[in-house]
Structure 1
Amino acid sequence: MTQVTLQMMREYLERFGWSRYQAVDEPFEKEGMIRTGWRSSEAAEGYVMSIDPMVEKGCLSFKVHQVLSAPLDSTPRDRLSDLWLAMSYLNYRIILGKFSYDPRDGEVRFSVDMPIDENTFTYEQFTHTMGVAIKTVEQYAPRLQAIAKGEQTAQQFIEQDLEGDIRQMREAFGGLLRELLAALESESGGRRRSDIDDDLREV
């Protein structure tokens, strides 16, 4: 029997430092769900998150709702196409979690779904999942919103994202190269000092 409960999620949230949340019942489900959220600054609107232990389905779902809204009947087709392309690219790129689009009302949300079949869910797994959800939404939601507003195309977004990857790889390689050179210089200096000591002993 799975050990993941709503009470466990409440305890984990409080341990995580989030005291503002609401536990609500869900019809036809053994466990209810938790509604909470965050905002990166006082001026930001913030995001609403639900944590739903769906025991009957063996799944624990973290959902960030209304990342943006792009209704089918009021959003230009080219923007919708760009938005879907950008989301497809992100879903291909990211390891954990996914962006999804609801054609009924145009909601875009981000979710991380974890299997909980007859096993517990540790606090470390909880913090990892929360971190993924928060970081991914903070990083990509504004850029997806810009695409939905027509301020950027999917192609521009993808190119910029890939350029950022290349830049990070260059910086990482540069740091590794500097460390390697420093190690070689240190080893070379040590050898020179050893040779000098040998010469002095011979004298």
Structure 2
Amino acid sequence: MPRRVIWITLIAGLPLLLAIAAFFLSRDTYQPYGTRLLNIRPVEANQFTLTAHDGSSKSLTDFQGKVVLIFFGFVNCPDVCPTTLLELSKVYKALTPAEQAQVQVLLISVDPERDTLEKLRDYVTFFSPSFLGLTGSPEQIAEVAKKYGVFYQKSAIKSPTEYNVDHTATVFALDPKGQLRLVYGNGKAAETERVVRDVRWLLR
């Protein structure tokens, strides 16, 4: 093959080679602590509209541009809920003020019959004034929980107002584009520094 043809071939293929090199150099090699979804690409989180503890209507799209950490729980929870919210408050406090402004923690009540707006407000703001409690009708909560694969049911029922609620204890992490990226099983949020690194990765 003539030398000139070889040079022309190399020059013509240069943009492709540069594009391939840029792709491999730009790939994010970070390995998150939270569990990635099995999907190859991030998926848009399931949308919902519920009532916040301040009485306003909140949709997931209202938090676009922020990392959103979602946990399903209830005010009278004896152990898992307060522990998880305490863990998330430690993560939140470990962030800089600028980062905190880009992070929202949501508690979605799985006990809408007892969790009034006032109770939700007092509960979630005890852990952080920035945390939001969300509730709705039993039908609305059931629909949102189903979308996220969250199980819950009443147990140890003593009366219509005295019972426990067994529920999935998972924290869902959404990126600023509203894509569901990571999940944390029960107790995993206790690793504050590792979750903080995940949050910063999602903010990038």
TM-score (norm 1): 0.28
Which structure would you say has the larger Rg?
1
Of Structure 1 and Structure 2, the greater strand share is in: 2
Q: TM-score, normalised by structure 2?
A: 0.28
Where relative contact order (Cα < 8 A, 6+ residues apart) is larger, the structure is 2
